[in-house]
């Protein structure tokens, strides 16, 4: 077993691409792994699909500020916000549609 987080093939703009529904989901789900990967020099990028507008713990603006702070602490290479709008995606089978 390879204990290194080094990717097997790297011809993209980042080493790790983490997709998350809302800001803070990536950190809650795999924050430690992202921290370890970034510490090893890997380029970790997070893409948040929504701003978490319908969340019950704080506003979307607060979540965005917290996501920016977390990105700095973890050492993310980049973070993108798709702003697709919370609650507008419907699951049909294994595909998401607007």
pLDDT digits (tens, 9 = 90+) for 10-36: 455 889 999 998 888 899 999 999 999
Query: Of all helices (H) and strands (E), which one includes residue 68?
Result: helix 60-74
Domain-embedded: residue 6: no
- DSSP annotation of 16 reads E
Q: What is the CATH number of the domain that holds 26?
A: 3.40.50
pLDDT tens for residues 43-57? 999 999 988 777 767
Query: How many distinct structural domains can be found in the chain?
Result: 1
- Which residues span the domain enclosing 86? 16-97
Count CB-CB contacts under 10 A for residue 10. 12
What confidence tens digit (pLDDT) does each residue in 47-97 have? 999 887 777 677 888 888 888 999 999 999 999 988 887 666 655 555 555
pLDDT at 33: 96
Integer Cα distance of 45 and 79 in angstroms: 5
Which tokens in the block code for residue 29? 């789900």
């Amino acid at each position: 077993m390879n204990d290194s987080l080094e990717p097997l093939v790297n011809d993209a703009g980042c080493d790790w691409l983490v997709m998350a529904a809302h800001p803070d989901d990536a950190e809650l789900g795999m924050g430690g792994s992202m921290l370890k990967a970034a510490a090893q020099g890997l380029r970790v990028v997070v893409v948040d699909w929504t701003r978490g507008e319908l969340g019950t713990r704080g506003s979307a603006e607060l979540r965005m500020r917290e996501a920016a702070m977390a990105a700095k602490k973890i050492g993310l290479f980049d973070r993108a916000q798709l702003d697709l709008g919370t609650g507008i995606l419907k699951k049909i089978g294994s595909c998401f549609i607007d």
